Chains A and B, each alone.
Chain A
Amino acid sequence: GDSVTQMEGPVTLSEEAFLTINCTYTATGYPSLFWYVQYPGEGLQLLLKATKADDKGSNKGFEATYRKETTSFHLEKGSVQVSDSAVYFCALGKANFGNEKLTFGTGTRLTIIP
């Protein structure tokens, strides 16, 4: 079945460091790919998405490119801030007659230290 493999955490970085969180997927067909972020005690917020190969999703300085050849959707940010500390989930969605349940990776906890 479909699956998402995500870089294990936790990840600790200093403020202004470069961030990469790796995500690879296994799926038949043409899934959409997402990054969701979960701040402490809160729900999941969509960070960015890409719906087809070579699409680049971007938001709040984060970027991820849908790479079909490597089945990857790595999350990057050039300069992280303390406020980026959260758990990041990579997810894929497979359309099923318009219904698109999400399959999540295990999440990566990111801590940014000042």
Chain B
Amino acid sequence: AAGVIQSPRHLIKEKRETATLKCYPIPRHDTVYWYQQGPGQDPQFLISFYEKMQSDKGSIPDRFSAQQFSDYHSELNMSSLELGDSALYFCASKRGGAQETQYFGPGTRLLVL
């Protein structure tokens, strides 16, 4: 079965650089979530989209922005990167509607030097 695809899988950036993470949801899934998992931490919700509109917002820094495109893929843009942004970034997708299961991608590991 098709799964959530994230690219790139690994990314190394310098401080103050920008990064773009991409997420391709499971076909026919219209809702995308982004989570950030710091080293040894639990995943923290950043932002979500439903039908290309932002649906909820969590602890996402102002330096980060995201959007969902017409083909339902989503991109997380991160600017002025800081050392503390080093983390595993997960994307999850689901079909719209309550109680549908979120399926997670393999994550993008970002290292900021």
A residues near B, CB below 8 A? 32, 34, 36, 42-46, 49, 51, 89, 93, 95-107
Contact = CB atoms under 8 A, between A and B. Distances in A.
A43 B102 CA distance: 12
Interface residues of B, number: 28
Contacts of A104: 42-44
B18 to A, nearest CB: 24
Contacts of A98: 31, 50, 96-98
Contacts of A97: 55
Given A98-B31, A99-B50, 6 more contacts: A36-B104, A43-B104, A89-B42, A101-B48, A101-B56, A101-B58
A100 B42 contact: no
Contacts of B104: 36, 43-46
A49 B50 contact: no
B90 interface: yes
Contact of A43 (B50, B96, B97, B105): B105
Interface in B37-58: 41-45, 48, 50, 55-56, 58
Interface in B69-111: 90, 92, 94, 96-107
A9 to B, nearest CB: 11
B43 A100 contact: no
A43 B5 CA distance: 11
A34 B102 CA distance: 10
